[in-house]
Amino acid sequence: MTTVLKLGGSVITEKDRAETLDGPALDAAADAIAAALASDAVGRLVIVHGGGSFGHHHADAHGVSTTDGTTDHVAVTDVHGAMTTLNRFVRSRLHDRDVPAVPVHPLSAASRDADGNLSLPTAQVETLLDEGFVPVLHGDGVAHAGEGVTVLSGDEIVTSLAASVDADRVGLCSTVPGVLDADDDVIPTVESFDAVADVLGASDTTDVSGGMAAKVQELLALTAPASIFGPEALDGFLDGERVGTLIE
């Protein structure tokens, strides 16, 4: 069984303070991951983390988004450098718990064509999984034909990876406990976008960088069931429980 787990950038960093880790939150996530691997509750695990306060402010400062790129190596180095720093923190906390985390930096592997379509080859990820490692990817810059380097979000990586490694389960650990209805209650199951379009808000559907509506649309397109849940439900998700909102 293969699971793709996204740790939201806002979960593991202090989103309002530049390049500041949320150490206790990352420790709790690493504890849950280590426990699940030790008990064999999850099989093969790929982790993807977002940027939080590490990547976003550099991208904003340089005017780089998922569609607007840069050919300035300083901008690329700022965004990629901050994200690899965060990635080292994540791997270090996992290593402290004997989780065999190995980095896979998307800037080194992926590219976009002139239409913005992502190509992320995954033979390296699958070989690492087969050999018992836990690949850890992250939001990053990506070479983009005609644009220089654009932003590649953690969510987009999850969608691409889940399909190419044929994931059985996908989990998005977010700061909210799931997709919320008009009363802020968690919607247990989402089977079509139309059913939740109203509560997600129409304007939100144009947010390509990770708004909830975009997440739901992308996850609906996957063959694997996907869950959106809060940090308190990470243990449960990794144990195979149904948590948060199930999108299938």
Residue 53: CB minimum distance to a second copy, A: 22
Per the CB < 8 A criterion, the answer to whether 38 and 53 are in contact is: no
CA 203 to chain centre: 22
DSSP 144-204: ETTTEEEEE-HHHHHHHHHHHTT-SEEEEE-SSSS-B-TTSPBPSEE--SHHHHHHH-TGG
Would you count residue 102 as binding a second copy (CB under 8 A)? yes
Residue 184: CB minimum distance to a second copy, A: 40
| Contact with a second copy (CB under 8 A) among 16, 24, 40, 71 | 71
Give whichever of 83 and 213 is closer to a second copy, judged by the CB atom: 83
| Contact with a second copy (CB under 8 A) among 4, 149, 172, 214 | 149
- 88: which DSSP letter? H
Per the CB < 8 A criterion, the answer to whether 237 and 229 are in contact is: yes
Residue partners of 200: CB distance under 8 A and separation at least 6:
179, 212, 213, 216
| Contact with a second copy (CB under 8 A) among 16, 115, 131, 194 | 131
Helical spans, DSSP H, in the chain: 9-12, 23-38, 52-61, 73-95, 106-109, 123-130, 154-164, 194-200, 212-220, 234-238
Would you count residue 118 as binding a second copy (CB under 8 A)? no
Give whichever of 123 and 202 is closer to a second copy, judged by the CB atom: 123
Give whichever of 26 and 233 is closer to a second copy, judged by the CB atom: 26
Would you count residue 223 as binding a second copy (CB under 8 A)? no
From residue 20 to residue 59, the character string flagging contacts with a second copy as x (rule: CB under 8 A) and all else as - is ----------------------------------------
Would you count residue 105 as binding a second copy (CB under 8 A)? yes
- φ/ψ region of 218 (left if φ > 0, alpha if ψ in -120 to 50, else beta) reads alpha
Would you count residue 231 as binding a second copy (CB under 8 A)? no
**Triad 173, 208, 162: Cα angle to 5°:** 50
| Contact with a second copy (CB under 8 A) among 39, 127, 192, 223 | 127
Would you count residue 163 as binding a second copy (CB under 8 A)? no
Would you count residue 183 as binding a second copy (CB under 8 A)? no
The span from the CA of 140 to the CA of 150, in Å, is: 9
How many residues bind a second copy (CB under 8 A)? The answer is 43
Q: Which residues bind a second copy (CB under 8 A)?
A: 69, 71-74, 76-77, 80, 91, 95, 99-112, 119, 121, 123-124, 126-128, 130-133, 142-149
